[in-house]
Amino acid sequence: MDDIAVARRALSLLDLTELSDACSEAAVEKLCAQAVGKHGKVAAVCIWPQFIKFARRLLSNQGVRIATVVNFPSGAAPIEQVVDDTSECVGDGADEIDLVLPYKAFLSGDEKFARQMVEEIDQSLPDGVLLKVILETGEYPDQAAVARASRLAINAGADFIKTSTGKSKVSATPDAARTMLEAIKASGKPVGLKPSGGIRTVADARIYLSLADEIMGPGWAKPMTFRFGASGLLTAINSTIEGTGDAATKAAY
C-alpha cells in the first residue's frame, strides 16, 4: 500500500487518546471534535473515567466508541476496587475497558492474581463492552515473558491485548507486537491487538499493520481486531492524506 492508503487504514483503527495528567474538559472536547474529521472517523476515543459522560454527550450518534482505563497506570490496585471502578465506567457509558494487567505481580511470579484480575473484570462486563488488557510489555525482561502474559490474558477473557500504557520508558515495540500476534494466532480465539504508545507516524503504523498482515492475514486488521493507541498519530495521518507529509509529532502518548 502507498502512504495514503496506510494512513486511511490507520485512521479507522485509531483509539484517539487523551490520558495526560493535565487533561481537562476542554482537552476532551477538542479530542472528540478531532475524532470525526473530514477524512473519516476514528474507532474510539480513550479518556480518563471522569470524562466518560461528557464524551458520551459530545459523541452521541457519531459511531465513535468510548474507551477508558482502569487499574491505570500502575496495575497495582486491589481487584475489588478495579471491579467497582469498571462498573462505574460502564454505568457512565464506556464501550471499552482498557485494564492494566497486574504486571508487577505477574513478573514476580503471582500469575494467579494477575489471571484473577482479568477474569473478574471480564465476568463483570455486560455483552458488547470490550476488555482490552494492557500488558505493559516495556517492563518485561524478555519476549518469553510477553508471550506468557499474552496467553494468560487471552485465556482469562481479554477481547484485546494491548502493549503499553504509554506511561513507561519503553512503549510499543515491533518485537512485542509480533510476540503478541503469535500468541493470538496460536490461541485460535477472536482476540485483537492494540499497539500503544510511541506510535506517531504513518511509517510507524505501517510496521504494525505489516506485522498483522503477515501473521494473521491481510484481511484480519479491522476495528474489532486491531487498534492503535495514540494521539499524535492523527496529525501524521491527516497530513499524509492531504499531501503535506508524514508529520511526526512530539505528543507524549
The answer to whether 190 touches 158, Cβ cutoff 8 Å, is: no
The answer to whether 42 touches 237, Cβ cutoff 8 Å, is: no
* Residue from 15, 85, 95, 98 carrying the catalytic annotation: 98
162 is catalytic: yes
* Residue from 41, 132, 167, 194 carrying the catalytic annotation: 194
Start-to-end C-alpha separation, the chain? 26
Look at the alpha carbons of 76, 17, 19, 70 in this order and tell me if their dihedral is positive or negative: negative
Cis peptide before 73 (omega within 30 of 0): yes
170 CB burial (10 A radius; 0-12, 13-18, 19+): middle
* Residue from 3, 95, 132, 162 carrying the catalytic annotation: 162
Which residues share a beta bridge with 194?
162
189 is catalytic: no
Rounded Cα gap, residues 170 and 176, in angstroms? 11
Look at the alpha carbons of 48, 253, 44, 123 in this order and tell me if their dihedral is positive or negative: negative
Q: Catalogue the active-site residues.
A: 98, 162, 194
